[in-house]
Chain A
């Protein structure tokens, strides 16, 4: 029998609000520039839009999940070990969804909204996609349903995963204890993920467990000699909410219209910034230039993230 599970994120909303207020209080004393009123309002409204979009597409996403579950290999059930396995397995699927979200432009078009702020505070955590369903990131969870995890169990674990990721969007915490930094995603690791400095591009995709980045070669530690700048390689320069939510989709549409036929698919499946004539920068080309400049000087003390293929 399917248990009547609550929605973890709904329950956590008061905690989100309380944590943001606490961070604002800290920031007021330490670094007022960590917040910007228009940026905060943009982030919060984008978060609200994500809730509305999620409510509108939840039925369709649930139907796809249940359809996949109908063809499951085994029925895993609702035992305690199933919950633990589901949580870890979902986190692994999240890692690959997130990595694809940075390396494949179609997925990036949906995810870019989360990186569009030049600030890094708890309100940034709520800057979430409006186009997740179109972005198709849910396909990365489908193997879990096919294996036999019930969609309701995975949805619950996804909620917990999202709640975990809220608190790491802050500069108010420097480093956690060493063992914690090794095992879990932390503010330091996730600051790197939101950075635009060439050294840090395309790194630290983990949701909860840092193990995945260490295993799959995408881990980069924060280096205090290279202070982090946040946002996008090409900053939006706008607080327009609709533009933040849709600009990459508009970019894809424009590129598809202009590109020669043989190049059109590339503008959908290649990394963000890819162009058929090589006239634009990708994160790989920026990192390559950075390596060329820094490594002969011996200044690259941190391991570079592997280019995600």
Chain B
């Protein structure tokens, strides 16, 4: 029996793998996996998430976005940590001079210095301008 050329086998192998990958990813979504995203409930939750993200950070206060999507946590030395949702988990970055911030009424737009970490828009209500002025000390 004639066997297929090597390159055909390779295409079949890689093509089959890609098909399986996209089929599984589609199924994960179709089955509703990943739903029920956890959001930041309150200040204490934000401080706990900051401690998980950076052991020993020692958050003492936090401003939480209205939708619970993100928060800015401060420690006793005034260092600020941006905590934001990443899928159904959280990721954080220290707010430093590499960040860019823009205030638009109640909403604060923050862009980290890392392109892959991206930007976040947080609704802080009437506190947004106070938070923005606090950010100006580091950004």
B34 touches A286 (CB 8 A): no
A96 sits at the interface (CB 8 A): no
A237 touches B117 (CB 8 A): yes
CA distance A240 to B55 in the complex (A): 25
Of listed B24, B33, B93, residue having the most chain A CB within 10 A: B33
Which chain A positions have C-beta within 8 A of B20? 13, 17
Return the contact of B14 from the options A24, A44, A51, A289 (Cβ within 8 A).
Answer: A51
Contacts A48-B17, A235-B90, A290-B55 known; 18 new A-B pairs at CB < 8 A: A13-B20, A24-B33, A27-B33, A28-B32, A32-B33, A37-B28, A37-B29, A39-B34, A44-B21, A118-B86, A118-B91, A229-B52, A231-B89, A235-B53, A237-B91, A237-B93, A243-B116, A286-B56
A13 touches B28 (CB 8 A): no
Which chain B positions have C-beta within 8 A of A21? 24, 27
CA distance A21 to B28 in the complex (A): 9
CA distance A32 to B20 in the complex (A): 21
Quote the shortest CB–CB distance from B86 to chain A (angstroms).
Answer: 5
B91 touches A32 (CB 8 A): no
Could you tell me how many residues of chain B have their Cβ less than 8 Å away from some Cβ of chain A?
A: 38
Which residue on B lies nearest to A239, using beta carbons? B87
Quote the shortest CB–CB distance from A206 to chain B (angstroms).
Answer: 25
Which residue on A lies nearest to B21, using beta carbons? A44
Quote the shortest CB–CB distance from B96 to chain A (angstroms).
Answer: 12
8 contacts between A and B (CB under 8 A): A32-B34, A36-B28, A36-B88, A235-B86, A237-B114, A237-B116, A237-B118, A293-B56
A40 touches B84 (CB 8 A): no
Pick the 4 closest A-B CB pairs, nearest first: A237-B91, A35-B33, A238-B116, A36-B34
Decide yes or no: A39 and B87 within 8 Å by CB, A235-B92, A237-B116, A286-B55 being known contacts. Answer: yes
Decide yes or no: A20 and B24 within 8 Å by CB, A33-B88, A118-B89 being known contacts. Answer: yes
Which chain B positions have C-beta within 8 A of A47? 21
Q: 1/0 per position for B50-71, CB-CB distance to A under 8 A?
A: 0011011000000000000000
Decide yes or no: A44 and B24 within 8 Å by CB, A24-B33, A34-B33, A238-B117 being known contacts. Answer: yes
CA distance A33 to B31 in the complex (A): 12
CA distance A57 to B82 in the complex (A): 40
A63 sits at the interface (CB 8 A): no
Which residue on A lies nearest to B30, using beta carbons? A37
B42 sits at the interface (CB 8 A): no
A41 sits at the interface (CB 8 A): yes
A175 sits at the interface (CB 8 A): no
A24 touches B38 (CB 8 A): no
Decide yes or no: A235 and B91 within 8 Å by CB, A24-B28, A41-B21, A41-B25 being known contacts. Answer: yes
B118 touches A37 (CB 8 A): no
CA distance A23 to B94 in the complex (A): 36
Which chain A positions have C-beta within 8 A of B90? 235
Which residue on A lies nearest to B89, using beta carbons? A118
Decide yes or no: A237 and B21 within 8 Å by CB, A32-B33, A119-B89 being known contacts. Answer: no
CA distance A119 to B89 in the complex (A): 8
B136 sits at the interface (CB 8 A): no
Which chain B positions have C-beta within 8 A of A243? 116
A13 touches B17 (CB 8 A): yes
Return the contact of B87 from the options A13, A28, A38 (Cβ within 8 A).
Answer: A38
Quote the shortest CB–CB distance from A244 to chain B (angstroms).
Answer: 9
A173 sits at the interface (CB 8 A): no
Q: 1/0 per position for A131-160, CB-CB distance to B under 8 A?
A: 000000000000000000000000000000
Of listed A28, A51, A235, residue having the most chain B CB within 10 A: A235
A185 sits at the interface (CB 8 A): no
Which chain A positions have C-beta within 8 A of B88? 33, 36
CA distance A182 to B89 in the complex (A): 32
B33 touches A36 (CB 8 A): yes
Which chain A positions have C-beta within 8 A of B87? 36, 38-39, 118, 239
Which chain B positions have C-beta within 8 A of A20? 24
